[in-house]
Protein backbone atom coordinates (compact mmCIF):
# COMPACT_ATOMS: atom_id res chain seq x y z
CA UNK A 1 0.00 0.00 0.00
CA UNK A 2 1.50 3.30 -1.10
CA UNK A 3 0.91 6.22 1.25
CA UNK A 4 -0.78 9.25 -0.32
CA UNK A 5 0.81 12.68 -0.23
CA UNK A 6 0.09 15.18 2.52
CA UNK A 7 -1.96 17.33 0.17
CA UNK A 8 -4.13 14.34 -0.75
CA UNK A 9 -4.66 13.55 2.92
CA UNK A 10 -5.51 17.17 3.63
CA UNK A 11 -8.11 17.24 0.82
CA UNK A 12 -9.68 14.06 2.12
CA UNK A 13 -9.80 15.37 5.69
CA UNK A 14 -11.59 18.52 4.50
CA UNK A 15 -14.40 16.39 3.08
CA UNK A 16 -15.03 14.57 6.38
CA UNK A 17 -17.41 15.60 9.16
CA UNK A 18 -15.80 17.05 12.30
CA UNK A 19 -16.91 14.02 14.32
CA UNK A 20 -15.10 11.67 11.94
CA UNK A 21 -11.94 13.83 12.04
CA UNK A 22 -12.07 13.67 15.84
CA UNK A 23 -12.29 9.88 15.72
CA UNK A 24 -9.28 9.74 13.40
CA UNK A 25 -7.23 12.01 15.70
CA UNK A 26 -8.04 9.90 18.76
CA UNK A 27 -7.17 6.72 16.88
CA UNK A 28 -3.84 8.19 15.79
CA UNK A 29 -3.10 9.22 19.38
CA UNK A 30 -3.81 5.68 20.57
CA UNK A 31 -1.65 4.17 17.86
CA UNK A 32 1.73 5.68 18.76
CA UNK A 33 3.13 7.49 21.79
CA UNK A 34 4.77 10.13 19.63
CA UNK A 35 1.44 10.95 17.98
CA UNK A 36 -0.12 11.38 21.41
CA UNK A 37 2.70 13.67 22.52
CA UNK A 38 2.37 15.79 19.39
CA UNK A 39 -1.39 16.04 19.82
CA UNK A 40 -0.85 17.05 23.45
CA UNK A 41 1.52 19.80 22.34
CA UNK A 42 -0.87 21.05 19.66
CA UNK A 43 -3.88 21.10 21.98
CA UNK A 44 -2.36 22.33 25.24
CA UNK A 45 1.10 23.80 24.77
CA UNK A 46 1.23 25.49 21.38
CA UNK A 47 -0.72 28.50 22.68
CA UNK A 48 1.87 29.25 25.36
CA UNK A 49 5.34 28.64 24.00
CA UNK A 50 7.02 30.19 27.05
CA UNK A 51 5.49 27.59 29.38
CA UNK A 52 6.44 24.86 26.93
CA UNK A 53 10.08 25.99 27.05
CA UNK A 54 10.00 26.06 30.86
CA UNK A 55 8.55 22.54 30.96
CA UNK A 56 11.25 21.38 28.54
CA UNK A 57 13.93 22.91 30.77
CA UNK A 58 12.50 21.13 33.80
CA UNK A 59 12.57 17.82 31.92
CA UNK A 60 16.20 18.46 31.00
CA UNK A 61 16.99 19.24 34.65
CA UNK A 62 15.45 15.94 35.77
CA UNK A 63 17.40 14.02 33.14
CA UNK A 64 20.65 15.72 34.19
CA UNK A 65 20.06 14.65 37.78
CA UNK A 66 19.59 11.05 36.59
CA UNK A 67 22.95 10.95 34.77
CA UNK A 68 25.34 8.42 36.28
CA UNK A 69 28.68 10.20 36.13
CA UNK A 70 30.87 7.40 37.46
CA UNK A 71 32.34 6.66 34.04
CA UNK A 72 32.55 8.57 30.79
CA UNK A 73 30.50 5.78 29.17
CA UNK A 74 27.50 6.27 31.48
CA UNK A 75 27.85 10.05 31.23
CA UNK A 76 27.83 9.76 27.45
CA UNK A 77 24.73 7.56 27.51
CA UNK A 78 22.96 10.02 29.82
CA UNK A 79 23.78 12.97 27.59
CA UNK A 80 22.63 11.09 24.50
CA UNK A 81 19.32 10.36 26.23
CA UNK A 82 18.89 14.05 27.03
CA UNK A 83 19.65 15.05 23.42
CA UNK A 84 17.11 12.50 22.11
CA UNK A 85 14.41 13.86 24.42
CA UNK A 86 15.39 17.43 23.65
CA UNK A 87 15.19 16.81 19.91
CA UNK A 88 11.74 15.31 20.30
CA UNK A 89 10.54 18.35 22.25
CA UNK A 90 12.03 20.70 19.66
CA UNK A 91 10.42 18.77 16.82
CA UNK A 92 6.92 19.38 18.18
CA UNK A 93 7.41 23.14 18.26
CA UNK A 94 8.34 24.69 14.95
CA UNK A 95 9.54 27.88 16.64
CA UNK A 96 13.21 28.69 16.05
CA UNK A 97 13.34 30.71 19.29
CA UNK A 98 12.09 27.72 21.27
CA UNK A 99 14.68 25.48 19.65
CA UNK A 100 17.44 27.99 20.33
CA UNK A 101 16.44 28.43 23.98
CA UNK A 102 16.32 24.69 24.63
CA UNK A 103 19.67 24.03 22.94
CA UNK A 104 21.34 26.92 24.77
CA UNK A 105 19.93 25.65 28.06
CA UNK A 106 21.32 22.18 27.40
CA UNK A 107 24.81 23.54 26.67
CA UNK A 108 24.70 25.72 29.79
CA UNK A 109 23.72 22.68 31.86
CA UNK A 110 26.65 20.69 30.44
CA UNK A 111 29.01 23.52 31.40
CA UNK A 112 27.50 24.06 34.86
CA UNK A 113 27.55 20.31 35.56
CA UNK A 114 31.30 20.41 34.83
CA UNK A 115 31.11 17.48 32.49
CA UNK A 116 34.56 16.95 31.06
CA UNK A 117 34.27 17.23 27.30
CA UNK A 118 37.69 15.72 26.79
CA UNK A 119 36.79 12.51 28.67
CA UNK A 120 35.18 11.07 25.55
CA UNK A 121 35.22 12.02 21.90
CA UNK A 122 31.49 11.21 21.73
CA UNK A 123 30.71 13.67 24.54
CA UNK A 124 32.91 16.28 22.89
CA UNK A 125 31.26 15.78 19.49
CA UNK A 126 27.77 15.78 21.01
CA UNK A 127 28.39 19.10 22.76
CA UNK A 128 30.00 20.80 19.79
CA UNK A 129 27.28 19.52 17.45
CA UNK A 130 24.78 21.35 19.65
CA UNK A 131 26.98 24.47 19.53
CA UNK A 132 26.97 24.30 15.71
CA UNK A 133 23.18 23.96 15.68
CA UNK A 134 22.95 27.01 17.94
CA UNK A 135 25.21 29.00 15.60
CA UNK A 136 23.10 28.02 12.60
CA UNK A 137 19.83 28.90 14.33
CA UNK A 138 21.25 32.16 15.63
CA UNK A 139 22.28 33.27 12.15
CA UNK A 140 18.74 32.64 10.87
CA UNK A 141 17.06 34.80 13.53
CA UNK A 142 15.98 38.38 13.02
CA UNK A 143 18.53 40.97 14.21
CA UNK A 144 16.34 42.07 17.16
CA UNK A 145 16.07 38.50 18.40
CA UNK A 146 19.80 37.99 17.92
CA UNK A 147 20.42 40.80 20.40
CA UNK A 148 18.23 39.02 22.97
CA UNK A 149 20.34 35.85 22.76
CA UNK A 150 23.79 37.41 22.40
CA UNK A 151 24.54 37.27 26.17
CA UNK A 152 23.65 33.58 26.32
CA UNK A 153 25.98 32.86 23.43
CA UNK A 154 28.82 34.76 25.07
CA UNK A 155 28.45 32.61 28.20
CA UNK A 156 28.92 29.54 26.01
CA UNK A 157 31.87 31.13 24.22
CA UNK A 158 30.12 31.37 20.87
CA UNK A 159 31.08 34.43 18.84
Domain locations along the chain: 7-47, 50-156
Q: Is the dihedral of CA 93, 86, 103, 6 positive or negative?
A: negative
In the chain, % helix, strand, coil (3-state, to 5) comes to: 80, 0, 20
The pLDDT tens digits for 13-67 are 889 898 998 898 888 888 888 989 888 898 888 899 999 999 999 999 999 999 9
The pLDDT tens digits for 68-120 are 989 999 999 999 999 999 999 999 998 999 999 999 999 999 999 888 888 88
pTM: 0.85
Amino acid sequence: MKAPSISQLEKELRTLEPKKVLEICVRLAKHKKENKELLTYLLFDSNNEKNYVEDAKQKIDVLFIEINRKTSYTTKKGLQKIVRNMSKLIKYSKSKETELEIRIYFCKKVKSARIRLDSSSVINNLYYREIEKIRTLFSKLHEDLQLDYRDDLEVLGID
